[in-house]
Amino acid sequence: MREIVLDTETTGFEPSEGHRIVEIGAVELFNHLPTGRTYHQYINPERPMPREAFEVHGLGDDFLRDKPLFKAIGQAFLDFVGDAKLVIHNAAFDMKFLNAELSAISLPRLPWERAIDTLAIARAKFPGSPASLDALCRRFGVDNSRREKHGALLDSEILAEVYLELIGGRQPDLVLAPVAATPARKAQPQPEHVPRPTARPQPLPPRLTDEEAAAHEAFIAKLGEASIWRKRLA
């Protein structure tokens, strides 16, 4: 199963207000294990960067001015994503921005059904507890010391670790298959009295030859009078 852990950075909160994506980062998982394949792209938003957004991710106008427009990278992004599930923290935010950008250049939108929202998973698993990415890193002991500011690729790498913890540990496929219980056998009624075996009506014929009996007698004689065999025969 292929999954893409994904994050974006933007100029604001609402694409309907003219805000745009400025960075996309993504990490590929296959059967819940990282493959080493990543996607990372800075994007020129074609608009000034608000101060509030700059303080979050540190991506300013001068840095983004020579970066490609979304229309130049949109298809490459879709090619990387393919038909994989999308693991996103607060998926509603990133999905609305991605689909707004894709729709603006007449590319297919990403269906909501493909999104796995780790924020929703965390809130369901730990109701009433903080569920931010930093809070989940503290809960699971995930190192986020490099996260001085938000960055799409770094946040995707951190989220991949958090996601694996949320779904059952960093080796979720290493589980013991439950063993089906075998049906208990019906107890058989036991008789109140079990008769003791009786002697045979006719004893079995001996299988020991005369030569073997003589050899055994000679062997016992060598053991001395105090041997166990001598005492048994006596």
Please give the positions annotated as active site. 150
Report the alpha-carbon distance of residue 55 to residue 212 in Å, rounded: 103
Q: What is the pLDDT of residue 221?
A: 74
Express each pLDDT in 223-234 by its tens digit: 766 666 666 665
Q: Pairing state of beta strands 115-117 and 21-30? A: unpaired
Q: What is the pLDDT of residue 191?
A: 52
User: Taking the domains of the chain in order of start, what are their residue ranges?
Assistant: 2-166, 208-234
pLDDT band at 201 (very low <50, low <70, confident <90, very high): low
Over residues 62-71, the mean pLDDT reads: 98
Question: pTM of the full predicted structure?
Answer: 0.71
Range of lowest pLDDT (6-15, 132-141, 148-157, 214-223): 214-223
Residue 159 reports pLDDT greater than 90: yes
Enumerate residues 6+ apart whose C-beta is below 8 A from 142.
Answer: 136, 158, 161, 162, 165
Express each pLDDT in 12-62 by its tens digit: 999 999 999 999 999 999 999 999 999 999 999 999 999 999 999 999 999
**Torsion angles phi and psi, residue 56, rounded to 5:** -80, -50
Fold of 2-166: Nucleotidyltransferase; domain 5 (3.30.420)
Report the alpha-carbon distance of residue 53 to residue 23 in Å, rounded: 12
Q: What is the pLDDT of residue 231?
A: 62
Q: What is the pLDDT of residue 196?
A: 58
Express each pLDDT in 81-137 by its tens digit: 999 999 999 999 999 999 999 999 999 999 999 999 999 999 999 999 999 999 999
pLDDT band at 181 (very low <50, low <70, confident <90, very high): very low
DSSP 137: H
Share the mean pLDDT of the chain: 86
Higher pLDDT, 5 or 224: 5
Q: What is the pLDDT of residue 173?
A: 43
Q: What is the pLDDT of residue 126?
A: 97
Report the alpha-carbon distance of residue 86 to residue 55 in Å, rounded: 27
Higher pLDDT, 225 or 72: 72
Q: What is the pLDDT of residue 217?
A: 76
Residue 76 identity (one-letter amino acid): A
Residue 72 reports pLDDT greater than 80: yes
Map residue 175 onto helix, strand or coil.
coil
